[in-house]
Amino acid sequence: MIPEFPCFKSIELADRPEVEAVIRRHPPYSDFNFASLWCYDTRGLGRLSMLHGNLVVQISDYITGEPALSFLGVQRVADTAGALLDHAAKHKLCPTLRLVPEMAAAPLMAMQDGFVAEEDEDSFDYIHSVEQLIALDHPALLPKRRRIEKLRSQHPGLEIRRLNLSEPQTADKILRLCERWRDGKGRSENEFATERTAIERCLSSAAHFEFVTVGALLDGALACFTINETIHGGYYMAHFGKCDPQWRGLSDLLESETARLMRDLGCSRMNFQQDLGLPGLRRYKRSWAAGAFLKKFVLRRRSH
């Protein structure tokens, strides 16, 4: 059982049904997706609580690692936000609430006093039409289609295949590919440490989730992968993906082919998660011409 605020508990796999009972009532914000909460709790510092029927989370900031509070829900949002900000001040946590979904922030913005809610563009979730990802018929996506056509013509033996994460050799291949991606991108081990640990947690706990993993094989070797999850509302969540940088157009191809597979599983939209304000990640995610965003806000007291 997730305790009532101000009590918290650490995130455990057994919490998934209770967390998902809450998140199914709301748009699929990536930060509250249980698999994301679990995988990115890389230091075991994540905490869960309930307040006025809202899900409260304490997670580590994706960039700084500092603990921050947020909540998902629309019940008594002013009381919830006030209690969490008081708790943050008392325990010397970040003095703002982060990653607050628009549906919770909107009524607080309408108040004449009390709170200030500011858009956090770095944290917006990119939402894509699955059909558009498959057809690549948006003008901004035509360069991707051309790169894919060229890649297929140069590598007629290229194979797209679903991967089984329960097979140890598959996990090993994914981790080796992650290292090739890191080297190819010129990232240090420290820069990639948090995401690598999150991927390792994903792989080691795959039996507890319904991940859909897709790989691209060139000359029989894994050159690109995506790890996804079907979720409520016709969405799928794009959790992880890495591609050997030497193959131009391969990441475009696999993203499109992943969408094709997810459509067959009943999905019509993809949550591509946020770009964290990282220039390279932002350029890549914007290149897919998102049709919508799930907006998030930073929330603070007006007097702060």
The predicted-structure confidence for 164-205, as pLDDT tens digits, reads as follows 998 999 999 999 999 999 999 999 999 999 999 999 999 999
Helix (H) or strand (E) holding 230: strand 221-230
Q: Are residues 129 and 269 in the same domain?
A: yes
Per-residue model confidence (pLDDT) at position 302: 87
Q: Are residues 15 and 83 in the same domain?
A: yes
Q: Are residues 20 and 130 in the same domain?
A: no
Q: Are residues 213 and 73 in the same domain?
A: no
Q: Is residue 134 part of a domain?
A: yes
Q: Are residues 94 and 213 in the same domain?
A: no
Contact in structure between 271 and 294 (CB atoms under 8 Å):
yes
Per-residue model confidence (pLDDT) at position 63: 87
- Residues 6 or more apart whose Cβ sits within 8 Å of residue 289: 128, 132, 138, 140, 141
Q: Is residue 184 part of a domain?
A: yes
Q: Is residue 119 part of a domain?
A: yes
Predicted confidence band at 64 (pLDDT cuts at 50, 70, 90)? confident
Over pLDDT 70: what percentage of the chain? 99
**Any idea what the CATH number is for the domain that residue 166 is in?**
3.40.630.30
Q: Are residues 58 and 196 in the same domain?
A: no
Closest CA to 71 of 51, 96, 88: 51
Q: Are residues 118 and 231 in the same domain?
A: no
- Mean pLDDT over the full length of the chain: 96
Contact in structure between 213 and 225 (CB atoms under 8 Å):
yes
Contact in structure between 126 and 274 (CB atoms under 8 Å):
yes
Query: Per-residue pLDDT tens for 247-261?
Result: 999 999 999 999 999
Per-residue model confidence (pLDDT) at position 111: 78
Predicted confidence band at 133 (pLDDT cuts at 50, 70, 90)? very high
* Domain count of the fold of the chain: 2
Q: Are residues 18 and 54 in the same domain?
A: yes
Contact in structure between 226 and 213 (CB atoms under 8 Å):
yes
Q: Are residues 72 and 98 in the same domain?
A: yes
Q: Are residues 69 and 174 in the same domain?
A: no
Predicted confidence band at 303 (pLDDT cuts at 50, 70, 90)? confident
Predicted confidence band at 113 (pLDDT cuts at 50, 70, 90)? confident
Q: Is residue 291 part of a domain?
A: no
Q: Is residue 85 part of a domain?
A: yes
Cα 129 from chain centre: 17
Q: Is residue 1 part of a domain?
A: no
Predicted confidence band at 109 (pLDDT cuts at 50, 70, 90)? confident
Please compute the mean of the pLDDT values over residues 84-94 and round it to a whole number: 95
Q: Are residues 119 and 145 in the same domain?
A: no
- Residues 6 or more apart whose Cβ sits within 8 Å of residue 266: 230, 234
C-alpha–C-alpha distance, residues 278 and 202, integer Å: 23
Please compute the mean of the pLDDT values over residues 118-132 and round it to a whole number: 98
Predicted confidence band at 112 (pLDDT cuts at 50, 70, 90)? low
Strand, coil or helix: what is 216?
strand
Q: Domain limits at 243?
A: 125-273
Please compute the mean of the pLDDT values over residues 105-121 and round it to a whole number: 89
Q: Are residues 142 and 28 in the same domain?
A: no
